[in-house]
């Protein structure tokens, strides 16, 4: 499944051609701002266009009947109150089960519904909605990692995914507080993407859904987490996470600092490990047993608890084949996780791609190219 991408619509006409339907006629809604378009076979991923029908955000919907686990390994209803917000109850006048949403905008929320903002390009930033007063209640994500608050903890760095940051993640975290948004920066500290991460096992994806969630149990945590950062409750065999990634830069721009393998010097390193030889600073693999180094937010890197049963894993998501090949214009900017927006977001993010790929498979393929001599 490695390398398959889903390309959501980047214009209103493209959305309509793909069968997406508009949900609202009023731009300033109670739950969000913008015109929301939903795929007819899958409502978990939605695209948001501004007043001038430029792609300006995405929204994710999850059902309100999910179950997760708390720090005592007890089963709890998800989402828990500790992750509301940024997960918000979808306020709907209709009947039916409760649903929850997470909404992200690619420009300031106050500019979404302004008809006089045609000169304001999408892709000027990333804003996560945190309340129903859309223009005031949001979290602005820094474009550079050095401006992140101390709440964001440095995680692992994976080739083509970049350095991960998780909010308040530590060995002391209560599992019901696992923050549903994580960030990805490249080795230059530039924002390259973000992801959504929910607890539990999601409902089965419709067969005609344009993409599917990634699903990870303990065995596949290395595809997203630094295991030494995780609390013991996350090693409960019944604990599962699911979500997707949103790339705001091309995957090849999401590089990691070069790793020097033990016993291999700069001078005698031979091919297979790093593309372009020893002078190429792009890392194209992750060492099988890299030397552990303290992260900037911790002083030690103890081993995670032994709490894994090989027969309790959830198989990773199947990935729907992307519609068409990736646009060559995506070389220098944006892709997106379990979804890949090959879109023109102008300005800072000229390409927004939502990328759904099974991350453990990606990691396995990267490791398969590692040659130690």
> How many other CB atoms are there within 10 angstroms of residue 53's CB atom?
14
Helix, strand, or coil here: 286?
A: coil
In angstroms, rounded to a whole number, what is the distance separating the alpha carbons of residues 280 and 257?
11
The partner residues of 58 in beta bridges, in order of sequence, read: 47, 104
The partner residues of 167 in beta bridges, in order of sequence, read: 152
**Digits of tens for pLDDT over the chain (373 positions)?**
334 577 778 889 999 998 899 999 999 998 999 999 998 888 888 999 999 888 999 999 999 999 999 999 999 999 999 999 999 999 775 667 889 999 999 999 999 998 765 565 666 799 999 999 999 999 999 999 999 999 999 999 988 899 999 999 999 999 999 999 999 999 999 999 999 999 999 888 777 777 788 888 898 898 889 999 999 999 999 999 999 999 988 888 898 887 665 655 544 444 333 333 333 333 333 333 344 444 445 444 444 444 433 333 332 332 233 333 334 333 334 433 334 443 333 334 444 444 444 344 444 444 444 433 3
Task: Measure the N-to-C terminal CA separation of the chain; round to a whole number of Å.
Answer: 29
Which helix (H) or strand (E) is 13 found in, with range?
A: helix 12-17
Spatial neighbors of 125 by CB under 8 A, at least 6 apart, are 106, 107, 108, 140, 141, 143, 348
Q: How confident is the model over 300-318, as pLDDT tens digits?
A: 444 444 443 333 333 233 2
Its pTM stands at: 0.71
Computed over every residue of the chain, the mean pLDDT equals 74
Which helix (H) or strand (E) is 367 found in, with range?
A: helix 359-368
In angstroms, rounded to a whole number, what is the distance separating the alpha carbons of residues 116 and 21?
25
φ, ψ at 77 (rounded to 5°): -70, 140
> How many other CB atoms are there within 10 angstroms of residue 264's CB atom?
14
- In DSSP notation, 191-233 reads EEEEEEEEES-PPPPPTT-S---EEE-GGGGGGT--GGG--GG
Helix, strand, or coil here: 146?
A: helix
């Amino acid at each position: 499944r490695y390398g398959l991408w889903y390309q959501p619509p980047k214009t209103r006409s493209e959305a309509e051609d793909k069968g997406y339907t508009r949900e609202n006629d009023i731009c300033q809604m109670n739950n969000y701002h913008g015109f929301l378009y939903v795929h007819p076979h899958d409502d978990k991923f939605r695209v948001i266009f501004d007043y001038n029908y430029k792609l300006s955000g995405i929204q994710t919907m999850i059902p309100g009947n999910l179950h997760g686990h708390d720090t005592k390994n007890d089963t709890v209803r998800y989402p828990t109150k500790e992750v509301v917000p940024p997960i918000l109850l979808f306020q709907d006048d209709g009947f039916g089960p409760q649903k929850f949403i997470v909404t992200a905008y690619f420009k300031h929320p106050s500019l979404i519904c302004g008809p006089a903002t045609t000169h304001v390009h999408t892709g000027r930033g990333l804003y996560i909605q945190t309340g129903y007063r859309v223009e005031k209640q949001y979290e602005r994500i820094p474009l550079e990692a050095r401006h992140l608050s101390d709440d964001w903890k440095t995680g692992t760095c994976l080739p083509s995914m970049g350095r991960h940051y998780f909010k308040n993640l530590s060995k002391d975290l209560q599992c019901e507080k696992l923050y549903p948004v994580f960030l990805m920066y490249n080795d230059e500290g530039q924002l390259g993407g973000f992801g959504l991460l929910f607890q539990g096992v999601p409902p089965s994806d419709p067969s005609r859904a344009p993409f599917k969630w990634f699903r990870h149990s303990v065995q596949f945590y290395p595809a997203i987490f630094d295991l030494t950062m995780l609390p013991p409750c996350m090693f409960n065999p019944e604990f599962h996470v699911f979500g997707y990634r949103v790339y705001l830069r091309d995957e090849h721009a999401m590089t990691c600092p070069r790793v020097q393998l033990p016993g291999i010097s700069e001078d005698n390193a031979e091919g297979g490990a790093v593309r372009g030889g020893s002078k190429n600073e792009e890392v194209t693999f992750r060492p099988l047993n890299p030397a552990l180094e303290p992260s900037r937010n911790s002083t030690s890197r103890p081993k995670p608890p032994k709490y894994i049963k090989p027969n309790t894993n959830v198989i990773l998501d199947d990935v729907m084949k992307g519609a068409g090949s990736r646009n060559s214009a995506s070389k220098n900017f944006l892709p997106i996780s379990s979804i890949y927006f090959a879109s023109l977001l102008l300005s800072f993010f000229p390409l927004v791609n939502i990328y759904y790929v099974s991350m453990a498979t990606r990691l396995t393929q990267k490791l398969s190219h590692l040659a130690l001599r």
